[in-house]
A and B are shown apart, each in its own frame.
Chain A
Amino acid sequence: MERCAPVLNRSLHALFAERADVILLGEDLLDPYGGAFKVSAGLSTKFPDRVLTTPISEAAIVGVAGGLALRGLRPIVEIMFGDFTTLAADQIINHLAKFRGIYHGQVSCPVVIRTPMGARRGYGPTHSQSLEKIFLGIPGLTVVAPSRHHELGELLRRAVVDSTDPVLFIENKAMYAQPHEPPVAGRVAEFSTRTTADRFPTLTFSLNDFAPPDLTIATYGGMTPLALQAALELAMEHELFAEIIVPSQLSPLPTAELLTSLSASRRLLVAEEGTLTAGWGAEVVARLMDTADFPFASARVAAANSIIPTSRPLEDAMLPQPADLIAAAIKLTSSPRR
């Protein structure tokens, strides 16, 4: 099975071959280095005019991409670590995401900003964060964070080709080295799966062929394998069947699959790798509270309110683990269904 980083790399190669208006900008992109995580490897050799290695200037390169997009090109920016998106926040929030709106729809600004987020690789406090929550709910900005079970290459292609507004495309960095395993004939290992027809689809995983679940788990990106692992253990050890909903689009939040599952389970567990406060999970719970016409109970699992320590045992303790999901699921299901 192919790993996720080469899948993204192949998608970029296909995009460059398909379209002459695609340009890639970022730090350390040139071969033989090919970008810090090798997702851009080989592009500078094949398409030297369209791969621009840049100074360490995140704000400027995102701004340049905005200018390129306003003038008709399809730029992709690679930000080496997601932690560094803060340096480009003004460009993302006040410029790229604004242009179409403030100019009354007269322009489009299709920039894709690809960046790795996430921990579990020992990179420490400033190279491991999941900061995507900062960018949720910015009008005009779409935030996409696929899991290793999404069609990664196709999602990246759609972000580049089918967008009129900027897309922040989060690539979980633990995922890079994991096998890419999209559903085949509606299955991933022991799970039955369902995929929505959205531009950035939501996946639903079930261990009992979509019979009404005991609880619904909402998660995304790098937490997905951990949630699936927890679901297996819940089924085998505790006879609790979870349905796992994995959107690839974090913002704006698609809620249809979540509502369908939750209407049966009435119990929602949200799991994310970032810190709890004001996280994605808070928005998921609040949004479902607003829209569901039935009662439900909810719980959130996320990272501890701390920096991400470098030492392995401390990092493990700070991050949400399958055991945390299992404990939260057992507690959530210990009360009668609402």
Chain B
Amino acid sequence: MRSNSSSFLLFISFVVLQMVFTSLIDFGPLLFISIYPLFLLTLPINTSINKLMIWAFFMGLTIDYFSNSILGINSAASIIMVTCQPWIFKLIYRKGDLENQIRPGMKQLGFYRFTAYITICLTIHHIAVTLIEDFGLIGFTYHIPRVLISILVNTIIILIIEFGVFYKRSI
């Protein structure tokens, strides 16, 4: 089982990584980078939903604090994403795939199902972010291209990180 301290280290490194990516990639208003969901989505499976929500809250808040976004937007969106996570996981989970205490990474789930998992969760997260930013459905059609592009780019970046950093190391 991954201990809390290593989770904390991972937390910090994801924050730093997020900062680095947001400062490196700037495509204007059509794209927002968020790769920190990978941290929340790959916490050990036996983590209770309450703990997940607390992790999501602090992660979102930290990201908001260090980036220039409105404080609270990412935390609200990632709490929503994390709340949906168990159901999404049930959709793609195959019995016997995972032992209880293991990180649901690309190696454990396989490429296709991991990609599906990340994409669905990111979709929820991004829609939540746009809705909270806009506070209403009126201008939502205007935001659809932004959401789609962001989902695509973020999924690719997350897959690259997952493959590059965690794929070979995980058990």
- Chain A complexes with chain B: no
**B interface residues (Cβ-Cβ under 8 A, vs A):** none
**Chain A residues in contact with chain B, CB under 8 A?**
none
